[in-house]
Amino acid sequence: MRANRLWRGLVPVVCLTAGFGFGALARDARGTDLRASQSNLVDLVRDADTKVQAQTSTVAGLQQQVHALTVQAGAGNAAVAATQRQVDELRAPAGLTAVGGDGVAVVLDDADDSSANAGVDPNQLVVHQSDLQAVVNALWAGGAEAMSIAGQRVIATSAVRCVGNTLLLNGQVFSPPYRVEAIGASDAMVRALDASPGVALFKQAASYYGLGWTVESDAELTLPAYGTVPVLSYAHATGA
């Protein structure tokens, strides 16, 4: 009897506590699914990427208009024409013009889902930021004169950043396989890749887990110009 009385006393307390909990969940969710946050984040990234691509296309169109108007103004103004010639000389070194020539193409890819990789840490089966960065650094060290990743021109302000198995570059999102193309002396760049400790680690993982790795020389590479206006940030001294 005592146990029954104790149970009858606890039931209202449990129900009241549960009611407060459900109320808090409803208030925090505000009509949304609390467990859907991860999938919503993926959709948010995709939507943002779509908007960035649309805006990039708009910027490219405006740049063409500005260039046409600048040429038109230079036709009747010697000072404008002289300044435009100075700008044109700097466009190629800055990566703002398409280039072509002999070079090397490197492709990195995630491992396939297979029974051979059952039980393996998923982090071992994907291309990481350090892997891409090792390839990029080796190619520059080998004398690369120009470079692109996933069809995006790499310039001084470009940063290789990976989130999970996706690459964020020049404001856009890319998925593997990642194709890195570099124009320059192909023999020297291949030697630099072979000498890179970071590249050696990726090649070792590729042999163990089946990640994709190919290196090919190509005498007719074509790299696009950087697609938008470069944005430079500067450090400013502050008062003591």
Distances (CA, A) of 104 to 28, 142, 180, 194: 53, 11, 8, 13
Q: Does 100 score more than 80 pLDDT? A: yes
Q: What is the pLDDT at residue 46? A: 66
CA-based max dimension of the chain? 106
More confident residue, 70 or 212: 212
Residue 202 · residue 137 · CB < 8 Å: no
Residues β-bridged to residue 214:
107
pLDDT bin (cut points 50, 70, 90) of residue 20 is very low
Express each pLDDT in 117-132 by its tens digit: 778 888 889 999 999 9
Q: Does 32 score more than 50 pLDDT? A: no
Q: What is the pLDDT at residue 89? A: 82
More confident residue, 47 or 220: 220
**Beta strand segments in 74-223, E:** 99-109, 146-149, 152-154, 161-163, 166-169, 172-174, 178-183, 212-223
Q: Does 5 score more than 80 pLDDT? A: no
Report pTM. 0.67
